[in-house]
Amino acid sequence: MNSTEQKKTNQKYYSKFTRIYVAVDCIIFGFLNNELKILILTRDFEPAMGKSSLIGGFVRKDESLDDAAERILYDLTGLENVFLEQLYSYGKIERDPGERVISVSYYALLKVQDLDHDHVEKHGARWCNIGECNELVFDHNDMVERALTRLRRRAKNQPLGFELLPRKFTIPQLQVLYEAIYQKKFDNRNFRKKLLAMNVLEKLEIKDKSTSKKGAYLYRFDKKRYNRFLEEGFLFDL
C-alpha cells in the first residue's frame, strides 16, 4: 500500500467518527498596581455577546494546540516568547451553547511593562483583578480557578514569579508579587533568606529608588545558575 492509498484507508476508518471544533482559551496573568490580574474581554459575537470571557479562538487545521495558543496571545498582545503552559481541556457537551466545542486552556505570564496597552485596549481587552472576575461565560470561571491553583503550585517549585516582573527587579518587588499570588504576607527576612539561598539571582550594582528613599538593589534572574540548580535536583520553595 503506498502513501496515498494509506491515507485514503485511514480517512475511511476515521470517517466513522465525529470531528469537533477545538478552541484555545488563555488565562493571561499580569502584575499591575501590586495586584495579580488577568486579561478579559467583552464578547462582540454570539453566543453570549456582551458578556465577559477569556481570550480565545479556534484551532486551525495547520497549527498545533501550542501554536494556536501562541497566535491568540500574539494577536492580542503583540508579544512573543511569553511564558505559556497548557492547563486543562474542557469537553462537556453543552459547555458552549452555540455548538459542540472542546476548549484547551492555556495560562500565560506577561511582563506588563513590555505591553502596548493601547494595542490591547483596541482589541477590547481589559485587566481584571483576580477574584473580581467571577462573571465569565461558559466554564471560564473554572478555567481561571484552575489556572490560579496551577500558578500557585508552580510558583513554589519553579521561579515562575520572575516571568511577571521586569528583567531587573528588587527583592521587595518580588515579595509583593508573591504576596499577591498567594494572598498572604511573607516575613521579609525569611523570604530574602530562602530566595538568596537558591543562588539564582544576580545582584546588580544599581538601586531602584522608585519605591523608597533608601533604594533597593536590582537583581536579575540567572537562567544558567537556575539550570544548574535544577540538574542538581534542588527544589525551589518559598
Q: Which residues bind DNA (CB under 7 A)?
A: 170-172, 187-190, 192-194, 207, 209, 211-217, 237
155 secondary structure, DSSP code = H
The distance of closest approach from Cβ of residue 69 to a copy of itself in the complex, given in angstroms and rounded to an integer, is 10
Looking at the Cβ atoms of 101 and 137, the one nearer to a copy of itself is 101
- Rounded to an integer, what distance in angstroms lies between the CA atom of residue 174 and that of residue 192? 10
Kindly report the length of the chain.
238
Report if residue 183 touches a copy of itself, rule: CB under 8 A.
no
Looking at the Cβ atoms of 83 and 88, the one nearer to a copy of itself is 88
Q: Which does 86 bind (CB under 5 to 8 A by kind): DNA, a copy of itself, none?
A: a copy of itself
Q: Which does 134 bind (CB under 5 to 8 A by kind): a copy of itself, DNA, none?
A: none
Q: Choose which of 32, 102, 176, 216 interacts with a copy of itself (CB under 8 A).
A: 102
Residue 81: which region, alpha, beta or left (left: phi > 0; alpha: psi -120 to 50)?
A: left
Coil, helix or strand at residue 225: helix
Are 212 and 237 spatial neighbours (Cβ–Cβ below 8 Å)?
no
Report if residue 44 touches a copy of itself, rule: CB under 8 A.
no
Question: Nearest-5° angle of CA 225, CA 215, CA 236?
Answer: 30
Q: Which does 198 bind (CB under 5 to 8 A by kind): DNA, a copy of itself, none?
A: none
- What is the residue type of 21? Y
The distance of closest approach from Cβ of residue 53 to a copy of itself in the complex, given in angstroms and rounded to an integer, is 14
112 secondary structure, DSSP code = G
Strand partners, 57: 24
- What do you get for the CA distance between the two ends of the chain, in Å? 58
Q: Which does 7 bind (CB under 5 to 8 A by kind): a copy of itself, DNA, none?
A: a copy of itself
The distance of closest approach from Cβ of residue 121 to a copy of itself in the complex, given in angstroms and rounded to an integer, is 24
The distance of closest approach from Cβ of residue 233 to DNA in the complex, given in angstroms and rounded to an integer, is 12
Looking at the Cβ atoms of 92 and 185, the one nearer to a copy of itself is 92
- Rounded to an integer, what distance in angstroms lies between the CA atom of residue 112 and that of residue 32? 7
